[in-house]
Amino acid sequence: MKEEILHILRYFALFKHPLTKVELYQFLGVECAQDELNRNIQTMAELGEIKIIGGFIQRNEDQDFTKLRIGKQERALDLIKKSRGYSRIIARFPFVRSVSISGSVSKLSSGEDADLDFFIVTASERLWICRTLLHLFKKLTFITGHENFFCMNYFVDDANLRLPFENFYTALELQTLIPCFGNNTYEELKNSNPWTTKYLPNHEGKPLASVAEIKHTALGKKLLEALFNLFFPRLINQWLMRLTDWKWRKKFAPLNLSDQEYDQAIMTRIHISKNHPHDFQKRILEAMEKEDGMEKNVYA
């Protein structure tokens, strides 16, 4: 228990982000009761192994990040309030089946320049049509300076909801998603990834914040979907995937990524689109492996 508590605090120390008792319980890799965890926290605090300031827990050797955490949380909550309007726009696009907030905002840890990241589920074999339409729209948002509120870097379609890279990082990203639209599809996404309980056995699937679900009868959306479905949509979907893949390989060639590194960071498959050229996941996992050497126990 002590080792796991320190491990999770080390992980979030990379983001200068101390945790509440409830958050620590949700993210702990050891199954236990909240009361049992609370007793261990109290004992470790009395022994000077961790410190509790303003209800936030962090390692004893770290500087006090409490004020920083409070500021990041306030910014995140403000972005979450604003997110409903932006996610409503995304939800109205053809073939969008679910919209969830992801990234730092979903963990209540938004820096001053934080973007509003969205995880999007599309209709089967329409992902690349949907993604292309959304990103054409995003190009227009540069005119009004709202591009940071429409960061859509992860798409999956509802025919293949199981995520690749089964590790602590991905489990945390999935379990902290905040659904905004298509909550039934969001539940299907979580149910399609039962492996997350291996890394987060205490997590009850409840996000750290909530947004009132967007519900609408978008007649225009249905008509557009029907229109696209008339013109060889599967072929168009495949062509857009190949076109995007060609553009990305040309764009990110200066990064000199190996084939394996490229396929992990930038995924262009018929059921999934992921565009993280700097592979934040890899950097964090490597940092943790170097920090405490627990990779064999925590990451797949």
How many other C-beta atoms are found inside a 10 Å radius of the C-beta of residue 33? 10
User: What six digits make up the tokens of 91?
Assistant: 């939800």
Q: What is the mean pLDDT of residues 254-275?
A: 87
Structural domain boundaries in the chain: 2-64, 77-196+204-279
| Mean pLDDT of all residues in 129-134 | 96
pLDDT of 15 higher than 90: no
Residue 20 has pLDDT above 50, yes or no: yes
How many CA within 13 A on the CB side of residue 201?
10
pLDDT in tens, 194-235: 999 999 999 988 898 989 898 876 788 999 999 999 999 999
pLDDT at 233: 96
Report the pLDDT averaged over residues 93-97: 96
Residue 294 pLDDT > 80, yes or no? no
In this prediction, residue 217 carries a pLDDT of 64
Lowest mean pLDDT among 36-40, 113-117, 144-148, 159-163: 144-148
The predicted structure's pLDDT at residue 298? 36
pLDDT (0 to 100) of residue 53 = 94
Mean pLDDT of the chain: 89
pLDDT at 295: 44
- Quick: pLDDT tens for 38-65: 999 999 999 999 999 999 999 998 889 9
Average pLDDT over residues 95-112: 92
Using a pLDDT cut of 70, give the percent of the chain over it.
92
For residue 300, the model assigns a pLDDT of 39
Mean pLDDT of 270-293: 71
- Domain 2-64, architecture per CATH: Orthogonal Bundle (1.10)
All residues at 6 or more sequence positions from 229 whose CB lies less than 8 Å from its CB, including other chains: none
pLDDT given at position 297: 39
Confidence at residue 279, expressed as pLDDT on a 0 to 100 scale: 59
Average pLDDT, integer, range 1-28? 92
Band of pLDDT at residue 281, cut at 50, 70 and 90: low
Residue 296 has pLDDT above 50, yes or no: no
pLDDT value, residue 99:
96
- The CA-atom distances, in angstroms, between 164 and each of 196, 216, 262 are 12, 31, 14
Residue 8: closest CA among 82, 49, 59, 53 = 59
